[in-house]
Amino acid sequence: MQFSNTPTVADQGHLAYGADLFLVMPMVHERVFFRLGVQQVNRQLADENETDTFTSYNVEVGYMLPETFRIRPYASINLLKPAYSAGAWAQIAGPFYAGLHGNATFYFGGFRWFPTDLYYYSLSASVGYQF
């Protein structure tokens, strides 16, 4: 996780960890999904002797593009904050998948989902299992 426009946080990358749950909604549409997740990061503050714990919650609705060569790209919007994410899942073997995801979260603007300044962004990799 990299924080921007946040003077109290050190200008460096921070290792985050967490879990996501993708819920496909076949009754709505086979490509629509909800993503529920939590990420936590121990941030180094600008005062180098201090750290704090930052927790981010995700409640997103998204759309998966059609599968191409075993890869499923997607894009989603967060329902709790002005955040957007995109990524792709690739089938490894059977029900196992590997993913690469990007996320950008912004400060609230005048209208809820129109961002003003970047708050933080993150790139993550994951392994998944399809039930």
Paired sense of beta strands 16-24 and 2-3, if any: unpaired
Inter-residue contact 18 to 39 (CB < 8 Å):
yes
Burial class (CB in 10 A: 0-12, 13-18, 19+), 120: buried
Measured in whole angstroms, how far is the alpha carbon of residue 92 from the centre of its chain? 21
What pTM value is reported for the model? 0.77
Q: What is the pLDDT of residues 36-92, one digit of tens each?
A: 989 898 877 777 777 788 888 889 999 988 877 788 899 999 998 888 999 998 988
